Every structure is written in C-alpha cells, then in structure tokens.
Chain A
Amino acid sequence: MTLKQYFSNIFTGVKSLATGMKVTGGYFLRHHKEKITEQYPDNRDTLVLAERFRGEVIMTHDDNNEHACTGCTACELACPNGTIKIITKFDLTPEGKKKKALDTFIYHLELCTMCNLCVEACPTSAITMAPTFEHSVFDRSQLIKKLNKPGSKIREGVE
C-alpha cells in the first residue's frame, strides 16, 4: 500500500460513513412526517394492502350470482399440493344435450401455499387471489371452503 493509497483509503472511508450518517440523520429529522409502521390492528379500517397481495383463493361472482367456472379442473391439476377438489355435474342444455358444469369447488385453505398457480392455470379467470389475511379459526375443518356460492350458475357465454 502506497502512502497515496493509504490516505485515499481514509478519505473514501470517511466519505462513505458520512453518506450513511446523512441518510439516517435525515430520517431522524423528518421522522414525524413519514412513518412506515402499520399499527395493526388499530388501523384495520384504513389498512391498504398491495394489489398483488395473495391471501386466499376466491371465486368471483357477479350481481346475478353467476361465476365463470366451467369445471374444467385445470386448477385442480395445476395445484402442487392438492388444495383444490372440483366436483362436477351434468347440466341439460335447452337442446337436450348433456353439458359438464361445476357442482362444488372445494378449497382447502389449510393446505394452500398461495403460489398463485391455480389462478394462472384458469382459462376463464374464474378464480383470483383475495387480499384477506385474518384466517385463524379454532377448528381446522372451518378452513375447508366451498368457493361457488349456493345457487350460483355459470355465466352465459363462458365456455
């Protein structure tokens, strides 16, 4: 190490330390203006979660209680740990033909890892991830959910 390097080491060291101290000092001075702490559960009403937050799988229903699930079981096949179980039935179309349709969409929240593969696999965008996270219950059986609402049927035109 030459003498020049020695002194430049000291200089760059002090400079980088001063840069770091400027950052934390700046935070200290304006700490009352910006806070990153979320005071959950006090702020439950105003809590803002990111759009991409993955809390649980839900099936979207419109106002007519209609969903877009054709019962194709693509999500069931895509799921790596058997979280989804789809039970299908056969509906009769007006022409008198039999048509495969969704009967029950069973979702095991307790097995789900929120990997989003089922949502990506769905050809009709029938399921999506909901930004909810308060999932604790006292009994495990309450985590087995039926996603299609009672009396719901498939939306017209969704194949």
Chain B
Amino acid sequence: MSFETLANWVHNWLYETLHPTVALLVEFAIVGVLIIGLFAVLGLVLVMMERKVSSWMQLRLGPNRIGPWGWFQTVADTLKLIVKEGMTPNNVDKLLFNMAPMLVIVVSMVIMAPIMFAKGIQIWDINIGVLFVAAVSSLSIIGVLMAGWASNNKYSLLGAMRSGAQIVSYELSAGLSILVIVVLTGSLKMSDIVMAQADGWWLFKGHVPAIIAFVIFIIAATAETNRAPFDLAEAESELTAGFHTEYSGMKFALFFLAEYVNIFVVCAIGATLFLGGWMPFHIGNWEGFNHVMDYIPSSVWFFGKTFLLIFVIMWFRWTFPRLRIDQLLSLEWKYLLPISMFNILLVTIIALAGWHF
C-alpha cells in the first residue's frame, strides 16, 4: 500500500464520518502535525549530516561519543537547547525580537505546501506552485531584518543588512533559472512540472540552457539560504553571529532549524524542477532497466535527489572561503544575472522551436 492510497483512505473516511468543515479542520491538524514532525526529523538529520560531512571532508572523525558513531549527538544538542533559558536582553524591541524567529520558521513551513514529496503526496497542488515558492521564500528576509533591527546591536544590524542585500540580489537569478523550467514545461504547477519529466529529467532534456540554469540555481540557492560561501549574514569571524547574536535557547534553535529546513526546501525545489521530483530515472528504450527503476518507491527517489543536492551544497560550504560583500554583489550582477538573462532568451527560442526532447 502506497502513501497515496493511505492518504485517500483517511480523506474519504474523514469526510464520510464527520461534517465536511470539521473533516477539513481535522485534516489541517494532521498535516500540521506531520509538518512539525518532518521539521524535527529534518533538523536532527541535517545537522548530523552536516557535521559528519564536514568532518569527513577535513579528515576528522566528527561527533563520536553519544550513541553509535555519535549519531545521537544532535538529539542531545536539541535537549540542551530546549532546557536552556530563552533570554530577552534588556534594551531590545521585545515584540519584534520574539516575533522574528517565529516568522522565519512559519515561512519555512508555508513553503512546504506545494512540494511534492512522493507520487500523490502534496499538501496543496496550487496552480502557481513555483511562483508561490519564489514569493514566500523571500519573506524570510523580513524575519532576519526584524531580528537584526530588534537586537539593538551593531553586529546584528550589519549582518541583517548584508543578508538583505544578498537575498534581494540572488532572488533575481534564482527566479530566472526557475523560469527556464517554467518556459520548458509551460506550467507553474508542481505536479505538471513533475509529469512533464516522465520521459526524462529537464536537466537532460533541456540541452545546455537547463544545465546552466541548474548551476545558477544551485549557486543562488546557496546564497538565499545564507550558507557559506555566502554566509556574510552570520560571518562568525567578523560579526560574531550576525543577526542571531543576541538569541539563545529555543529562539536561537528556531533560526538554526529554519536554516536547515530552508536548505531542504530549496534542494527539494531544485530536485523537482531539474531532476524530475519523484520520477524514477529512465533511459530511453531500456525496458528492463526502466522497470527495475519503477520498483523503487517514489518517495525514495524524491528524498534521494533532494539529499544529493543537499550534499552538494554542504560540499560547497566545506570547500570555498567566504566572499567579500563586493565580490558577492559583483558575482550576482555582473555574472549570474546577465548569463541567466541570456539563458532565458536561449531557452525561449528552444521551447518555441520545439527543439527540446
């Protein structure tokens, strides 16, 4: 039994036994609990993955004391953060200070809505799915700016302003590279984009423009999630911790969690647009091979692709040094943006002429 049949069965059972409005509310609650559960698991798994990947890339051991090979280290860290006091310093703007982490985490939750986790598993198949993601993801910068401003601390404010300049810039090339796939598919709907890749992923079908768009998307996604080499907003060596300098305990943990969930979200979007979402890997006419690939569940395909992209982004982080602010902006405005504009022209010609497979 797949997740899709289970979900349909629960849906039908709720609507048969309960009043439609109550059933809808119960479904909201179930989805909310599932998303919060996913957040908790993602936080634990991704932080552990980051620490292990970083240590292995530097020939270190990484966490190795709690549990087998240190796999429970993040559980212990989370427990520590939960019992820690969430302090609010004296001269901060108390409302904004306490609201900022909530806003950031809520934005991460809302972007989860149009993502297809597996065949038929999607919270909301909205017909402007990709646009929705692009629009909502830019809201998280407001949370960061709020935190920086409310902290009443020059380092926090500097970090937040840097983060603002960075996200406003990189939103453009991220949007343009998403647009490449939208042009090829002819739809903004997530399920349509995935179905269009049933006979091959856009990365392979879209010729050179899709590959360029993929590379630009990965760079822009790294920048938008404020990760090294684009982590000027945090810049431990210059700004202590940037916008979350003054945060402690669970409020800090929410920022930390939002960072990792955002990585997951952008990688999920990247996997959906360029690597075919939950679509299995097929090669032309190899019937036997394609049949074997179809046996692997769609959720495994989706999470496999997403975690592959997450690994690539972690690989970036543990290889490249941090960019200076002028280098960051010149990379975007002088290189990525002109290239992606030219790229979208190219892909439009290809799509109009029908040259893609």
Residues on A lying within 8 angstroms of B by beta carbon are 9-10, 17, 20-21, 23-25, 27-28, 31, 34-37, 39
Q: Which of A17, A25, A28 contacts B320 (CB 8 A)?
A: A17
Rounded to whole angstroms, the CA-CA distance of A25 and B357 in the bound complex is: 33
Rounded to whole angstroms, the CA-CA distance of A31 and B56 in the bound complex is: 5
Q: Which of B53, B61, B319, B335 contacts A35 (CB 8 A)?
A: B61
Q: For B55, what are the chain A residues with a Cβ–Cβ distance below 8 Å?
A: 31
Q: Which of A9, A21, A37 contacts B60 (CB 8 A)?
A: A37
Q: For B61, what are the chain A residues with a Cβ–Cβ distance below 8 Å?
A: 35, 37, 39
Q: For B315, what are the chain A residues with a Cβ–Cβ distance below 8 Å?
A: 21, 24-25, 28
- Give the Cβ gap from A134 to chain B, nearest Cβ, in Å: 21
- Give the Cβ gap from B20 to chain A, nearest Cβ, in Å: 52
- Give the Cβ gap from A20 to chain B, nearest Cβ, in Å: 5
Can you identify 7 A-B contacts, CB atoms within 8 angstroms? A9-B335, A17-B320, A21-B316, A24-B58, A25-B57, A28-B53, A36-B59
Rounded to whole angstroms, the CA-CA distance of A28 and B293 in the bound complex is: 28
B333 interfacial contact with A, CB 8 Å: no
- State whether A20 touches B320 (Cβ < 8 A): yes
Rounded to whole angstroms, the CA-CA distance of A39 and B64 in the bound complex is: 10
- Give the Cβ gap from B129 to chain A, nearest Cβ, in Å: 31
Top-8 shortest CB links A-B: A31-B56, A24-B57, A24-B319, A37-B61, A20-B319, A36-B59, A28-B57, A37-B60
- Give the Cβ gap from A115 to chain B, nearest Cβ, in Å: 30
- State whether A27 touches B320 (Cβ < 8 A): no
Rounded to whole angstroms, the CA-CA distance of A20 and B58 in the bound complex is: 13
- State whether A31 touches B59 (Cβ < 8 A): yes
Rounded to whole angstroms, the CA-CA distance of A35 and B320 in the bound complex is: 21
Q: Which of B56, B316, B335 contacts A28 (CB 8 A)?
A: B56
Rounded to whole angstroms, the CA-CA distance of A9 and B53 in the bound complex is: 30
- Give the Cβ gap from B168 to chain A, nearest Cβ, in Å: 23
Q: A9-B335, A24-B57, A31-B56 are in contact. List 12 more A-B contacts (CB 8 A).
A: A17-B319, A21-B315, A21-B316, A21-B319, A24-B318, A24-B319, A27-B58, A28-B315, A31-B55, A31-B57, A35-B61, A36-B60
Rounded to whole angstroms, the CA-CA distance of A152 and B118 in the bound complex is: 81
Residues on B lying within 8 angstroms of A by beta carbon are 53, 55-61, 315-316, 318-320, 335
Q: For A20, what are the chain B residues with a Cβ–Cβ distance below 8 Å?
A: 319-320
Q: Which residue of B lies closest to A21 (CB)?
A: B319
Rounded to whole angstroms, the CA-CA distance of A31 and B60 in the bound complex is: 8
Q: Which residue of A lies closest to B312 (CB)?
A: A21
Q: Which residue of B lies closest to A1 (CB)?
A: B334
Rounded to whole angstroms, the CA-CA distance of A1 and B318 in the bound complex is: 31
Q: For A36, what are the chain B residues with a Cβ–Cβ distance below 8 Å?
A: 58-60
Q: For B58, what are the chain A residues with a Cβ–Cβ distance below 8 Å?
A: 24, 27, 36
Q: Which residue of B lies closest to A26 (CB)?
A: B57
Q: For A35, what are the chain B residues with a Cβ–Cβ distance below 8 Å?
A: 59-61
Rounded to whole angstroms, the CA-CA distance of A31 and B58 in the bound complex is: 8
- State whether B59 touches A34 (Cβ < 8 A): yes
Rounded to whole angstroms, the CA-CA distance of A44 and B320 in the bound complex is: 35
Rounded to whole angstroms, the CA-CA distance of A129 and B61 in the bound complex is: 31
Rounded to whole angstroms, the CA-CA distance of A27 and B60 in the bound complex is: 10
Q: For B60, what are the chain A residues with a Cβ–Cβ distance below 8 Å?
A: 35-37
Q: Which residue of A lies closest to B338 (CB)?
A: A6
Rounded to whole angstroms, the CA-CA distance of A39 and B63 in the bound complex is: 12
Q: For A17, what are the chain B residues with a Cβ–Cβ distance below 8 Å?
A: 319-320
Q: For B319, what are the chain A residues with a Cβ–Cβ distance below 8 Å?
A: 17, 20-21, 23-24
- Give the Cβ gap from B302 to chain A, nearest Cβ, in Å: 24
Q: For A28, what are the chain B residues with a Cβ–Cβ distance below 8 Å?
A: 53, 56-57, 315
Rounded to whole angstroms, the CA-CA distance of A61 and B53 in the bound complex is: 50
- State whether A10 touches B56 (Cβ < 8 A): no
Q: For B59, what are the chain A residues with a Cβ–Cβ distance below 8 Å?
A: 27, 31, 34-37
Rounded to whole angstroms, the CA-CA distance of A20 and B316 in the bound complex is: 9
Q: For A21, what are the chain B residues with a Cβ–Cβ distance below 8 Å?
A: 315-316, 319
Please indicate which of the listed interface residues B53, B58, B59 has the most CB atoms of chain A within 10 Å of its own CB: B59
- State whether B56 touches A27 (Cβ < 8 A): yes
Q: Which residue of A lies closest to B317 (CB)?
A: A24
- Give the Cβ gap from B324 to chain A, nearest Cβ, in Å: 15
- Give the Cβ gap from B195 to chain A, nearest Cβ, in Å: 33
Q: Which residue of B lies closest to A31 (CB)?
A: B56
